[in-house]
Amino acid sequence: MKKLLVLGVGNILLMDDGVGVWAVQELMKEEWPENVHFVDGGTATQDMFHILEGYDSLLVLDVVHSKKEPGTISLFEESQLVQNEKQRLSLHDIDLLDSLEMADMLGKRPQMRVLGMEPKSYTDWAMEMTEPCKAVFPQFVEEARKQIRKFLDEQL
pTM, 2 dp: 0.86
Half-sphere exposure of 37 (CA within 13 A, CB side): 15
CB 129 within 8 A of CB 15: yes
pLDDT category at 116 given cuts 50, 70, 90 is very high
Residue pLDDT, tens place only, 62-87: 998 878 999 999 998 877 766 555 44
Residues 103, 124: Cα–Cα separation, whole Å: 33
Q: Which of 4, 7, 11, 28 is nearest to 127 (CA)?
A: 11
CB 38 within 8 A of CB 76: no
The pLDDT > 70 percentage for the chain reads 78
pLDDT category at 28 given cuts 50, 70, 90 is very high
Provide the pLDDT for residue 61.
95
For the residues of 91-104, what is the DSSP string, one character each?
SSHHHHHHHHHHHH
Provide the pLDDT for residue 76.
87
CATH number assigned to the domain covering 4-154: 3.40.50.1450
Report the largest interatomic distance among the alpha carbons of the chain, rounded to a whole angstrom: 44
pLDDT averaged over every residue in the chain: 84
Domain segments of the chain as ranges? 4-154
Number of Cβ within a 10 Å radius of residue 102: 17
